[in-house]
Every structure is written in structure tokens, then in C-alpha cells.
Amino acid sequence: MPHSLEELLDFNGRMHIVDIGAAAITETPPYRPLLDRGLARLSAVDGDGRQLAAMQEAFGPDTKVLGKVIADGTKRSLHLTRASNGMTSLLKPDARQLPFFNGFTVYGAVEQEIEIETERLADVPELQDIDFLKMDVQGAELMILENAGSALDGCVAIHTEASFIPLYEDQPTFAEIDRWMRKNGFLPHCFTDVKRWSIAPTLLNGDCPSSEHLAQLAA
């Protein structure tokens, strides 16, 4: 009797997982068990060069780490926040929206803006034939999907971040991403996590960083 899904399906291949915006390595990625069991290979992509060495160390030598900005193939501005803040984005943090949540005005402070060439997912040879796509790119998710071309023709599942309240200028909302997904044959399966951050100035279980920590980030 089969004791695992791969035995039930008689699967002995290796899936191709692509993680765009893979620098969020403080969290265990949902596909980690597939890598640990040798059922998948990983292409980890991030456009912030400050993150690449840590990504390679975290994921191991068998992972292909690519320092590319995946978007629509045009020249764009990359808004660099502090490397540890996780808010570096092709989109400019929205100064009107950031104060909605405690601490986000500090987290979204842009330290540098640089011009970069982006690439379409459809045009990157290493990122074709995707079985599972994960994205956490601070508002550029829909832009990537709209320029994926045939890269997603065999894709079984997409795990993406989506916002109900945009934190960046012109950021597509959850509804817009959901509309693209349904139009292209993908249906919602579940929310793996919902970030519940208190609306400023209220606090819930101390979910706001300390004033000392925010001062250090702002320094």
C-alpha cells in the first residue's frame, strides 16, 4: 500500500519550482519538503543584489540563484529600502497608505532609487517549464503574470502574495490578481497565511515594533 503521495502517483521525477522574490528566507518556504525529499529543483530569483549570497547559503549549492528583476521587460526604477525590511520594490511605497499600519512609514523608507532593466518571465530560459510558482515581489505580481507567456503553460499551482490594502503606488489588489488567475485557469485553493497587522495607532498583542527598534531602522 502506498505510504506517500508520490508513491500513490508513482512519481519519481523532479518538479521545477520557481521562487521570484526569494529573499524572504526568514520564513520556511512552503515547498521546502519537496526539496528535502528530492522531488523538486529550485530556481530562486531576486532583483536585490544584496540578498543573493544569503539566498545561496540558505537554499544550498543545488539551487540556481538568479539576480534578475522579473517584470515586463522595460527599464524601470527599483526602490531600495533597508535590506532587512523586505519592502524593496519596483513600485514606490505609497506615503498616503504606509501610516495605516504601525511602523510601515519606517519600513517603507526608500534609501536609494536605481534604474534597472527588467526581464519578462517569458524570455528567461532558466525559468521555463514551471510546475510551481511562488512570488513575493511587493506589488509586481500581476505584472509578472501578465508577461509570463508560455512559461506557465504546465504550471500546476501559483503561491503568491496579494494585498487587500495597497502599500505601493499603483499596486494591484487581491481582486485584480484573482481576476487574472480565474481568467487563466487558476482557482483559489487556500490562504496559507493572513497577516493581521493592527490599524494605527491601535495595538494587538504588541504587534508594533518598539520605538527603539524603529529609531534604529530610521537612523
> What CATH number is given to the structural domain containing 34?
3.40.50.720
* Separation in Å, CA 205 to CA 1, 103, 192: 47, 15, 21
In a domain, 110, yes or no: no
Give the global pTM.
Answer: 0.89
Q: Is residue 111 part of a domain?
A: no
DSSP-assigned letter for residue 69: -
* Residue 177 CB partners (closer than 8 Å, separation 6+): 141, 142, 145, 160, 162
User: What SS3 class is residue 160?
Assistant: strand
**Does a structural domain hold residue 174?**
yes
Instruction: Calculate mean pLDDT across residues 103-123.
Output: 95
Give the domain extent around 37: 5-78+117-195
Residue type, 107: Y
Would 124 be classed as within a structural domain? yes
| pLDDT band of 85, cuts 50, 70, 90 | confident
* pLDDT-based confidence at residue 25 (cuts at 50, 70, 90): low
Q: What band does 162 get if pLDDT is binned at 50, 70 and 90?
A: very high
Mean pLDDT for 165-174 is 95
Phi, psi angle pair for 33, to nearest 5°:
-60, -35
How many whole angstroms separate alpha carbon 199 and alpha carbon 66? 36
17 domain residue, yes or no: yes
Does residue 149 fall inside a structural domain? yes
CA-CA distance, 103 to 67, in Å (whole number)? 29
Of the two residues 171 and 11, the one the predictor is more confident about is: 171
96 pLDDT higher than 90: yes
Q: How confident is the model at residue 136, as a pLDDT?
A: 95
Q: Which residue has the higher pLDDT, 173 or 27?
A: 173
How many whole angstroms separate alpha carbon 28 and alpha carbon 110?
A: 27
Does 91 fall in a domain?
no
Count of the separate structural domains present in the chain: 1
**Is 103 domain-assigned?**
no
